[in-house]
Structure 1
């Protein structure tokens, strides 16, 4: 009998080799303090003298990594304060744009872990995709709808203590092609919705004396991109909003404000329907980010009770250094990366 299954596309072995994989391997091997201390211990096991150059260098190397590790922990504590205790059974989680993509994955993760989860979306999740999760039809770009949904969530589930702002849309048009409706819809969903949800749910977190707010922005908020002027403007606004709100909470005289953890997520190109068909310029330096990887990183930081910055893939965590380079070099790098031509090529294909 003939099979109707589509053949699986075979990729060359090196397609899975990325800079992110190399960095991850390094972090768990020779850049890990514990592993580094194995070197001088092994040398001593071979009766290498304490005065031998190899032993001294290995000790300096291991000690340097250890100091760097503890300084990183200190930096995290200074920047975001002490972690809060997160118990899934006691948390009420609200996820915007939770009917598909990254939002749906996060809803599934916490639904399976016994947390109380509510998703806000204009579309209903497909039957069987989520269990133990409650869907509320809501256009998060409309503050009155957010307020109405919040009241129902409070009555049905309790006071939300974790807010994951994930909803987003893309127009993908040139600057002059954007209509007023396109621009307004973009800012309502990609930027204003965060103001609506935070202003609605933050007071309840302050009353509870605990909370976590996750802002899903984009690396393009730092870079900008041709044919994405409205989208990147909104994402840049989110980064600024996150930074400003975090500073405001830390300086608040309300002690409960200091118990609110803020998490900023600035991923590279996600492998979702939002940018379907968009080809990444370098699979090695700028690989597609799988939603499951971002979901795991977000849930790990939420569960640890910490605040912080999540930037995947590897280059996304260092992209801000591009702005300190000479303007001419910046232009060359942008040209080589394809950040300004990718959307144009996608539009031509359509």
Structure 2
């Protein structure tokens, strides 16, 4: 395909369709942390403060200069430690040229997967989407995406779709396992069929797509695998038992995949990305109210997608965890059980699903 950027008509959302919110609604801990990351906690800015003090002929023995220098050295050390840690954990980045890559996205008609697919489609990348939803051929052509109607919970359908993708686009080198469904039922109200369906789509489909596409990556000697899990995989939640259990399984699957790839000499250039978002503003959790908009804001697919695309195109492995609390949730499990209980109680997370309108308590499809 041509490497030129395709012009696509876009209709922006109407402002008056959204409820007016007070200014403090948009003030979140994530925003504060973001600003601090580019100011007080940034090594370059920290050294600029030192230089400014010296420009004012501040003596080295003055306490303010000593504090500024100590802070700048601390921020520099933390930054270097982070870079070294990532290199040890994930290795060197691989070279990525979108013209030479074939991208496969499961559940890519709408939500996060749809955003990623359309973004790469606008950039004329070789993009294939697996989804149960059918897309009109004219719409697919306008978006520059090849859609394959496929139920990823069915291994035979995935294998057949994989063969078609290879014939149409070439060997897949980037796999984004995004398909997922949720059902808001208690454990006692769930049937065996409900739980099985959720696990087949959310968990077993990952095994199927990995078996279908990773052999091509090994043959090509390069690739990127994105696993979309959830922060609830670390936490669990009332009335979301099947969903949270299926996402927790993906956390273990991701680590097992990394371990197996590390043992394969042909997989040195295959990168892995784990995505553990908090509540996203998609149809999947329509009606769920976040316990705290300040501490646990709802993230948009664009925010998650931006970080996924950045890692993919830099050829790096890594983790994407938004909002901020998602990065530190694993620490909760190391705290005393009493503290864990109080955090869950104060956050109100186990009551969030119970507040959904009963009319909305139905199976929500792909992200």
Which TM-score bucket, shorter chain as reference?
Answer: over 0.9
Higher relative contact order (CA 8 A, sep 6+): 2
Asked if residue 187 in structure 1 is aligned to residue 199 in structure 2, the reply is yes
Shift, 1:8, TM fit = 4.2
Q: Which residue of 1 aligns with 2:297?
A: 287
Is the partner of 1:175 in helix, strand or coil? coil
Asked if residue 251 in structure 1 is aligned to residue 263 in structure 2, the reply is yes
Q: Runs in 1 of length 4+ with deviation above 6 angstroms? A: none
Asked if residue 99 in structure 1 is aligned to residue 116 in structure 2, the reply is no
Asked if residue 110 in structure 1 is aligned to residue 106 in structure 2, the reply is no
Is the partner of 1:177 in helix, strand or coil? coil
Q: Which residue of 2 aligns with 1:218?
A: 230
Distance 1:197 1:7, change over 3 A: closer
Shift, 1:217, TM fit = 0.2
Shift, 1:251, TM fit = 2.4
Contact 2:287/2:357 (<8 A) preserved: no
Contact 1:142/1:193 (<8 A) preserved: yes
Contact 2:229/2:251 (<8 A) preserved: yes
**Which TM-score applies when normalising by structure 2?**
0.91
RMSD: 1.4
Q: Aligned pair count?
A: 344
Q: Distance in 2 between the 1:8 and 1:137 partners?
A: 33
Q: Which residue of 2 aligns with 1:27?
A: 37
Asked if residue 76 in structure 1 is aligned to residue 86 in structure 2, the reply is yes
Q: Distance in 1 between the 2:16 and 2:221 partners?
A: 53
Contact 1:171/1:231 (<8 A) preserved: yes
Q: Which residue of 2 aligns with 1:316?
A: 326
**Which TM-score applies when normalising by structure 1?**
0.95
Asked if residue 336 in structure 1 is aligned to residue 359 in structure 2, the reply is no
Q: Distance in 1 between the 2:336 and 2:100 partners?
A: 51
Asked if residue 134 in structure 1 is aligned to residue 146 in structure 2, the reply is yes
The correspondence of residues 52-91 of structure 1 with structure 2, limited to 5 A, is 52-91=62-101
**2:355 aligned to which of 339, 345, 349:** 345
Q: Distance in 2 between the 1:29 and 1:112 partners?
A: 34
- Listed as ranges, the gaps of 5+ residues in structure 2 are 1-14, 361-367
Could you report, residue by residue, the CA deviation over 1:56-109 in whole angstroms, capped at 9, with x for unpaired residues?
A: 221111111111111101100100110001111111000000001000000011
